[in-house]
Amino acid sequence: MGMDDKVYRHLENLVGSGFVTRKKEDLVCYSYDAAPGNAFLPDAVVFPKSETQVSEIMRLALKKRIPVIPRGSGSGMTGGAVPVQGGVVLAFSRMNHILDIDLDNFTATVEPGVIVSHLHKAVEDLGLFYPPDPASSDVCTIGGNVGECAGGPRAVKYGVTRDYVLGLRAVLPCGDVISTGVSTAKGVAGYDLTRLIVGSEGTLAVVTGITLRLLPRPACVATLAVCFDDMEKAARTVSGIMRQAVIPRCVEYLDEASLFLVKDRLQFALPKQAKAMLILELDGDEITVKAQTEQIRQFCTQSFALDIRVAKDPGQAAALWEARKALSPVLYKIANQKINEDIVVPISKIPDMVACIKSIQAESGLTIVSFGHAGDGNIHCNIMYDKTDASQAKQAKKAVDRLFAATLELGGTITGEHGVGLTKMAYLSWEIGRVEQDIMKKIKAVFDPFRILNPGKIFPDS
Ligand SMILES: Cc1cc2nc3c(=O)[nH]c(=O)nc-3n(C[C@H](O)[C@H](O)[C@H](O)COP(=O)(O)OP(=O)(O)OC[C@H]3O[C@@H](n4cnc5c(N)ncnc54)[C@H](O)[C@@H]3O)c2cc1C
């Protein structure tokens, strides 16, 4: 149907005519995210440059009952930024400034459109450290990370986005601006609205400013690549490492199919029998890192590792991470469609989960590629299939059902960091009870009684 001309002109007046578009070719670019198969055209895309503009846009949207969908870079894996009911996409590419890095109090204050790797570099240049590092850090935004409570390889030691958000500025669906949290190390006045908004997938409020906690930059980092001739051995090693006193900052797992896909990107030849690899990273002062590297090396040897390599310089470490980060896009070499799930199981259950994935693969006849942040039990399972083949699509859906059922049986969760969005809505009730969902829906109604903010997400009846 498209957008009413009067409303469109009002939006132009609010942000300037160069910063709102309804050209079809532009709308298409904002109709999808990284979750394949979910494309819905918005009616307009608006590029605000300030919190005041966001507030005015929300007031207009509420008056006209127009859906508004906050969007960072659209790298989300569950359709979170997809405008399922049309409306206005709020794109934050102009609100991309690091406003302050406070060296005395170890905080950074940023706008939501800051690219995560830009923040990493800016604080590291000053001897500080912002740990959350989703594999998409070169493209995704802090606003999107707050929306999804993003994790990443370093979460195993340092936690996820929510552990670093001290306070937020946000615009409510009615246009009011709120300020949550603190800019101090502690603060418990009232309910924790910050934590409520972090991970709310853009359904409660539009985040316009974020104050983040920083750490001192670790002096030394050691990166290891450890190969195994058997997936279960690698999985058991992960559980074993996590029971040691040493906490690596990353414990990433790549299965045989993953290794096949990235082997040409590695700076070393994989042993012929390699069927799984762990990327381990330790950080701290030089003496501790040296001692811990030796301890981990010995543990991996006792766990029957085929090959253990320690990166000799930052270049070798970077090459290893580049191969790991290339995995998600290169999966399309296997098949033209993937369902990517980010299940998490308790660390002690990783070997059971790995065995279970193997049996789901055998039963479905499809290729399932698994890799991910095994140190915190977060395994990314990619079910690959031919989207033009209805029977394969059916098998893929069955495989997801089995995967989630097995995950929950092992005491896990259906999503560790990608959120529910659109693609996991049908499974929410598998994990979250009716009473708990009712509480969540009431919270949504308090923030957004007219359901204009990112409608059609998380709850099947939203
Ligand atoms: C190759 C690849 C690797 C990835 N690796 C990881 C990983 O290791 N760990 C991980 O956690 N994720 C990973 N992801 C998923 C994705 O990058 C993250 O979910 C990321 O946080 C999304 O950021 P974005 O800027 O692209 O947000 P978008 O996809 O644009 O939006 C994500 C959600 O946040 C909401 N949102 C965005 N901005 C705002 C705002 N200002 N206010 C309120 N809500 C907002 C949106 O409405 C949406 O619901 C990966 C994705 C890809 C493609």
Statement: the pTM of the whole predicted model exceeds 0.75 = yes
CB 100 within 8 A of CB 119: no
Picking from 41, 116, 21, the residue whose alpha carbon sits closest to that of residue 75 is 116
Non-local CB neighbours of 237 within 8 Å, separated by 6+ positions: 226, 228, 278, 299, 300, 303, 305
**φ/ψ of residue 29, rounded to 5:** -65, -25
230 C-alpha to center of ligand 1: Å? Answer: 33
43 C-alpha to center of ligand 1: Å? Answer: 22
Q: Tell me how far CA of residue 305 lies from CA of 243, 371, 448, in angstroms.
A: 18, 18, 53
CB 194 within 8 A of CB 167: yes
Q: How many residues does the chain have?
A: 462
Tokens describing residue 74: 């659209």
The pLDDT, as a whole number, for residue 186 is 87
Nearest atom of ligand 1 to the alpha carbon of 197: 43
* Strand ordering across the sheet containing 88-91: 20-21, 44-46, 88-91, 68-71
Pocket test for ligand 1, best of 136, 168, 194 (most atoms within 8 A of CB): 136
| Conformational region of residue 442, where left means phi above 0, alpha means psi within -120 to 50, and beta covers everything else | alpha
Over its length of 462 residues, how does the chain's per-residue pLDDT go in tens digits? 568 999 999 999 999 999 999 999 999 999 999 998 889 999 999 999 999 999 999 999 999 999 999 999 999 999 999 999 999 999 999 999 999 999 999 999 999 999 999 999 999 999 999 999 999 999 999 999 999 999 999 999 999 999 999 999 999 999 999 999 988 888 899 999 999 999 999 999 999 999 999 999 999 999 999 999 999 999 999 989 988 889 999 999 999 999 999 999 998 899 999 999 999 999 999 999 999 999 999 999 999 999 999 999 999 999 999 999 999 889 999 999 999 999 999 999 999 999 999 999 999 999 999 998 999 999 999 999 999 999 999 999 999 999 999 999 999 999 999 999 999 999 999 999 999 999 999 999 999 999 999 999 999 887
CB 387 within 8 A of CB 170: no
Residue entry with tokens 């160069």: 18
Picking from 11, 73, 68, 9, the residue whose alpha carbon sits closest to that of residue 42 is 68
Pocket test for ligand 1, best of 51, 71, 340, 379 (most atoms within 8 A of CB): 71
| Conformational region of residue 28, where left means phi above 0, alpha means psi within -120 to 50, and beta covers everything else | alpha
Ligand 1 pocket, Cβ-based, cut-off 6 angstroms: 33-34, 69-77, 80-81, 92, 112, 134-136, 140-141, 143-145, 147-148, 150-152, 201-202, 206-207, 328, 417-418, 454
* Strand ordering across the sheet containing 367-373: 307-310, 220-228, 276-284, 250-255, 367-373, 378-385, 337-344
Picking from 280, 281, 275, the residue whose alpha carbon sits closest to that of residue 369 is 275
Residue 216's DSSP bridge partners are 128
71 C-alpha to center of ligand 1: Å? Answer: 9
Report CA 59 to chain centroid distance, whole Å: 30
Tokens describing residue 55: 């507030």
The one-letter amino acid code at 290 reads K
Q: Tell me how far CA of residue 220 lies from CA of 108, 289, 319, in angstroms.
A: 23, 7, 18
The pLDDT, as a whole number, for residue 2 is 66
80 C-alpha to center of ligand 1: Å? Answer: 8
Question: What three-state secondary structure class fits 336?
Answer: coil
The pLDDT, as a whole number, for residue 184 is 85
DSSP line for 301-370 = HHTT-SEEEE-SSHHHHHHHHHHHHHHHHHGGGT-SEEEEEEEE--GGGHHHHHHHHHHHHHHHTSEEEE
The pLDDT, as a whole number, for residue 1 is 55
160 C-alpha to center of ligand 1: Å? Answer: 13
Q: Tell me how far CA of residue 273 lies from CA of 80, 152, 259, 260, 331, in angstroms.
A: 40, 28, 11, 12, 22
CB 59 within 8 A of CB 174: yes
Structural domains of the chain ordered from first start: 5-91 (3.30.43.10), 98-216 (3.30.465.10), 220-326 (3.30.70.2190), 334-442 (3.30.70.2740)
Pocket test for ligand 1, best of 40, 137, 140, 168 (most atoms within 8 A of CB): 140
> Sign of torsion, CA 409 411 414 420?
positive
CB 69 within 8 A of CB 32: no
Nearest atom of ligand 1 to the alpha carbon of 33: 29
Non-local CB neighbours of 16 within 8 Å, separated by 6+ positions: none
d(CA 336, CA 338): 7
Residue nearest to atom 31 of ligand 1 (CA): 144
d(CA 74, CA 140): 8
249 C-alpha to center of ligand 1: Å? Answer: 22
145 C-alpha to center of ligand 1: Å? Answer: 5
d(CA 416, CA 88): 29
